[in-house]
Chain A
Amino acid sequence: MSFPSSTFRREARAGLHDIAPAAIAAVPIGLLFGAVAVAKGLSPAEIVLMSALVFAGGAQFAAIETWVHPAPITTLAFATFLINARHVLMGASLSPKIRLSRIQKFLCFFFITDESWALSERRALDRPVTGVYWVAMVTVLYLNWVVSTGLGAILGSFLGDPARLGADFAFTALFIGLIAGFGRSRVTLITVAVSAAVAALVHHFIGAPWHVASGAVAGIAAAYLSAPGEEARA
């Protein structure tokens, strides 16, 4: 990774420019995550550690939503895998488009998020994704997430239980909004319906945190079974 200084500056500026909207949007989510995590019994230091080491908003939300003491390590790891399995495809797609050595990729891919991946894919449409561009983007996003969740944890300690303000429903609203954006295809509707039904049943009869993993597995199975096979496409 060696650049003339003008190219370096241009790539860094482009990365910072592109990531700015996502970084700004992440601040209130980070604050909320920290506040809810404190209410679930995690200390601010543990919350910062989680954000620094995991750095995956979706998996962290799901973990906190189902967090109990003592933490169910296997269940949390399994749920994390299901939620983050999409990173495999993101990494596979991004790998040939980013100008980094193998070792640099192993380091830099720690910072793959939906946002950095999507922006890189877009940039790759008309030019190569440089390491400088990537590092500029993910540094902002990473520090932003760690700091905002930490601040949320500290502020949450003073505010008390977010449920009093109804803020705990923000997670649910977030996911409902996400599902609403999935589209209206037959496979999608079947997937969402089966996943929701199984998660609700498991939550009712067995309880948290198993409903998260059960719903995800049921949804994946439903998508597999309801999608047309290769012979149907031919």
Chain B
Amino acid sequence: MSFDATTILAILAMAVVTYITRVAGLFVADRLVLTGRAKAAFDAIPPLRCWWPSSHRPH
């Protein structure tokens, strides 16, 4: 098992940022109403469903 300190820090940074995005929805659940341009901008954020075969994608 080998670890590089900078790599570990990068992984931790990615993990923290990802977790923040995941729980942030709890805080905005009652407050966020997206419409118009703001909705379009949010929709443009890449929805990376890269594991999902189209035949099994839920509707």
Residues of A within 8 A of B (CB): 21-22, 25-26, 29, 42-46, 49-50, 53-61, 63, 69-74, 76-77, 80-96, 102, 105-106, 109-110, 112-115, 118-119, 121-122, 174-175, 178, 181, 187, 191, 195, 216, 219-230, 233
Contact = CB atoms under 8 A, between A and B. Distances in A.
A178 B48 contact: yes
20 contacts: A22-B51, A46-B11, A61-B48, A76-B10, A76-B14, A77-B14, A77-B16, A83-B46, A85-B45, A86-B46, A88-B21, A89-B32, A118-B52, A122-B58, A174-B50, A175-B50, A181-B54, A223-B40, A227-B36, A233-B36
Nearest to B34: A89
B9 A53 contact: no
Contacts, number: 213
A223 B25 contact: no
B44 A58 contact: no
Given A42-B7, A59-B14, A224-B40, A83 B48 contact: yes
A174 B48 CA distance: 10
Size range of the chain B interface in the assembly: 35 or more
A220 B51 CA distance: 23
Contacts of A61: 48, 50
Q: Is the interface of B mostly helix, strand, loop or mixed?
A: helix
Contacts of B46: 58, 82-83, 86, 178, 216
A89 B25 contact: yes
Interface of B: 1-4, 6-19, 21-26, 28-29, 32, 34-54, 56-59
A70 B6 contact: yes
B8 to A, nearest CB: 7
A230 B53 CA distance: 35
A81 B25 contact: no
A42 B2 CA distance: 9
